[in-house]
Amino acid sequence: MTPPAFYLASASPRRRDLLIEWGYRFTVRAVDVAEWEDPAADPGLLATRNAQGKARAGAEGLAAGVVLGADTVVWCEGRNYFKPENERDAERILGTLSGREQRVVTAVTLRHQPSGREVTGVVGTAVVMRALSPEQVRAYVASGESLGRAGAYAIRETGDPLVERIDGSLTNVVGLPMEWVSATLAREFSIVPVRGGQPATSGAALAAGPAGEATGSFTGKQ
């Protein structure tokens, strides 16, 4: 049986690049959905609601296929942190997260058309950020890396000077929990990469764990 077509309901270059690196063939269906942002909400429930909204918006008008919608939030000491509104807000967020352990929580919803069946998973990764001076915070924000990213920072698979340690799925922090995505696409929808093999992930030794949450660790650049 021919697997269904695969669609990404996101314009995020990080999510697009991860799917490409893992060998998937897909079509981008960018959506404009108002995201629910509540600093005090349960991060998993909040991200799930937003991921479902994006997947459903991406499936509108689609005759057949599987649509991926995702949402990421950074949770630290009882509060959710979202994409900064501007550079000043980015400096505030980074100053708050500096030197603290936080959890990057991503929800992914896979919606099948025309059945409307949905499969949703939530993956959390612990991140310990280095203690940053005000000058380092300002320099990072001035680089342009902060805007459009939950928690006002991004991380690459080769490491990042902001981060001291990552415990869990590295790809989750980059943009998508690919261990969960890959396993669920294959199991639920028979969608597999067009080329085999998991790409090498620099700086981390990852092994799929229960419920798609990877185990392993990552240490940022010194």
Contacts of 164 (CB under 8 A, 6+ apart): 128, 129, 130, 219, 220
Note the pLDDT of residue 32: 86
First to last CA, the chain: 49
Note the pLDDT of residue 154: 73
Note the pLDDT of residue 56: 97
Note the pLDDT tens digit of each residue in 61-104.
999 999 999 999 999 888 888 788 788 888 888 888 888 898 99
Domains of the chain with bracketed CATH: 6-219 (3.90.950.10)
Prediction pTM value: 0.80
Note the pLDDT of residue 213: 32
CB atoms within 10 A of CB 123: 27
CB atoms within 10 A of CB 203: 17
| Given the residues 42, 71, 89, 167, the one annotated as active site | 71
Is 42 assigned a catalytic role? no
Please list the ranges in the chain whose pLDDT falls under 50: 157-159, 197, 199-222
Whether the bond between 13 and the residue before it is cis, its omega within 30 degrees of 0, is: no
